[in-house]
Structure formats: structure tokens, C-alpha cells
Amino acid sequence: MKYVLAVFVGAWVLVTSAQAAGYRVETVASGLEHPWSLAFLPGGRMLVTERPGRLRVIEPGPDGRPQLHPEPVAHVPAVLARGQAGLFDVVVDPGFAVNGRVLLSFAHGQPEANHLRVVRARFDGRQLLDVQPIFTSQPAKTETQHFGGRMAWLADGSLLFGMGDGNLERTDAQRLHTHLGKLLRIQPDGSVPADNPFRQRTDARPEIYSIGHRNPQGMVVVDGVPYAHEHGARGGDELNRIETGANYGWPVTTGGIDYTYARITPYRSLPGIQTALVEWTPSIAPAGLAWYDGALFPAWRGSFLVAALKERSVRRVPLAGGVPGTQEVLFQELGERIRDVRAGPDGAIYLLTDSANGRVLRVVPATP
């Protein structure tokens, strides 16, 4: 067992580095171009987004084993695919068994004037039908960085999703006239919930749920409580417990350093700004986020699983009584940038590898 150090709310803590013993990794699908998100459908099917703009189906083959359908899903909206822009998240409507709906988030528009867009559509197994935009970020931004794009359903049936700061004017994350650098909340039809914290303000975008985020790309709801993580620069990656109307600090407070190696701000904390649940400096580049409570890995139950691009790993962060415990570095022996991590309905852990020849991997206990 190896040990490394990480930053936990301003202090150094011990992190264990796991070995491959105890699990095995199976390839479910390969040949995917920068896969970004994975969602589970009834009947053992899965949906996978590819950043260039394709939505793919993995389904049981004649032998019962999962296989990638050769043709992408038809009628996916046009996507701006350049730099970090592309097709991002896919989530399944909680009422999918009745309405057949899925939601997609993606970069929309032109490089010099682009947006984050969310659409909903009916999925019939091979194509999208009745595609309807339900959100388009405002105002348009230039450049193709820091879109956020991750989505999650809240317990009341509303949709929470992240919008990055665009990596231009960082302080936009603190300004209410723009969606940049925020977590946003809408109803499934795109309308604004009556209890959104800034809805009654004439100087604010009504969809805003929380402010002060850099580039949130992981989101999960645990026992009704939303959690999200976001990229820092060379440091200052954060995992946060999300509260309505709260300020998470970017770029006013952060423990991270910039790409120039300079401190971004002299303030690690200030009154009225939420303190991160976990902070990673140096950066691990957190991407997807899952909560594991399955039966296949009892020792990992009650843990966040954090996909890490730069560290080429998954960080397991146990949570007990609202307090994070000793972190564990998993799957680093794969040598892959991990874009997404999901806890499957079968209790297995699913990973997406971020490359031009990306894979969907399934992690199960090693054969005794």
C-alpha cells in the first residue's frame, strides 16, 4: 500500500493508494471518441455521449453481453465541438418508463458566440424525437472553455446543473446578471422553480441556484443533498456540499495557484463564503462524480467516487456524519484519464476513459 498527501480543508491528510487486488476491470465498449457521460436505461441498456456530438447505445447482444450499437442515435442536435466544447452530459428522466425522455447538455452556437444548452427529447431506442431546448445560457460567451455541463435530478424533480466561468472574466462567477460560474436549477420543462433564491431580483438570472464556481463537472445527490466538484487551476479543485443561494468563492477565495504559479487570491476563506468539503492541491482535475452504496464492494459503501483526469485515477472519499474520511486512490494502474464514473444498478462501478479511442469499463470484484 502506497501513501500520498492531499489537501483537506486547508490541512494535509493521508491518502492511501490501492492496488489492483480485490477487483477486476472489464471492457464493455471501446472505440469511443472522448466519451463524456454515461447513463443507465431499463433492460440493461446504457447511453454514452461522445464529445464530438454523438450519442451511442450499449445494449445486450445475442449472448447477453453488452455491445456497442454500430450506429449513433439519430437526430442529436448540432453541437459546437472545439477545444473543451462538445456534447456533455446525458441524464434519464425519472419518469422515463412512462415518457421515454432523456436530457442532453452541450455547447451550442459559434466559437465567437456560444452557450451551454440543455434539451429534452423522447428516445425510442434508435433516435431522438420531439427535441426541445429548455435552457440556453446567457449572455453568449467567446472562446470554448469552462462549460461545466454536468446535470443531476433533485429530490423534488427539478434539474440542477453546472455552468463554468468561461475562463475569461473570472469575476463573472460572482455576478448575478450572467449564468457564468453558477449552479443552475430549472423544472423539466425549462421553467424556473418558484423558490429559486434569486428569482425575485430584477438584477439576477432567475435560474441561479448558487454562485462562485469555476468549472463544475461532477454532481450527485445523496439522501436529498446535492454535492458538486469543480476544477481549480494548478490547484484548488473542490468538492462542495451545495446549499441554495450560497457563494462558493471563486475567484475571491481559493487555496489554488494559477497556471503562472502565482496565487490567484490571498484569501483562502472569507465571511459569507462556503468552505470546501474537500480541496485538492495540486490539482487532480476532477471530472465525473458518483456516490457508491452498492453491494459488490461493501468496504466502499458510503463513499464518493471522483473521476480524475490529471491524476488518471478515481478518488474514493468516504463520508460519515457529513465528514470526509481518508481518501483512497483507485484504478491508477490503468494509466487512463478518467472522464466519468458511475455506480451501476448492478452494483458494479463504470468508468469512461478520456481519449480518441475511449472505453467504457466495468469494475467488479476479483474472482475468488
Alpha-carbon distance of 335 to 312, in angstroms, equals 6
Contact, 227 vs 274, CB < 8 A? no
Q: What is the pLDDT of residue 367?
A: 81
What pLDDT sits at residue 17? 52
C-alpha cell belonging to residue 332: 491508477
pLDDT in tens, 5-34: 444 443 334 455 555 469 999 999 999 999
Distance CA(63)–CA(94), nearest Å, equals: 29
- The pLDDT of residue 125 is above 50: yes
146 noted as active-site residue: yes
Condensed to tens digits (0 to 9), the pLDDT of residues 328-359 reads 999 999 999 999 999 999 999 999 999 999 99
**With contact defined as beta carbons under 8 Å apart, do 339 and 361 qualify?**
no
Say if residues 221 and 152 touch (Cβ distance below 8 Å): yes
Query: What does DSSP say about strands 23-32 and 35-40: parallel, antiparallel, or unpaired?
Result: unpaired
Bridge-based pairing of strands 11-17 and 327-330 is parallel
Q: Which of 63-67, 96-100, 162-166 is least confident?
A: 63-67
Residue spans per domain, the chain: 1-32+284-368
Catalytic residue chosen out of the listed positions 34, 108, 115, 146? 146
Close Cβ partners of 303 (under 8 Å, ≥ 6 residues apart): 291, 292, 316, 317, 318, 319
**Residues forming beta bridges with residue 35, ordered by sequence position:** 50
- Chain length of the chain: 368
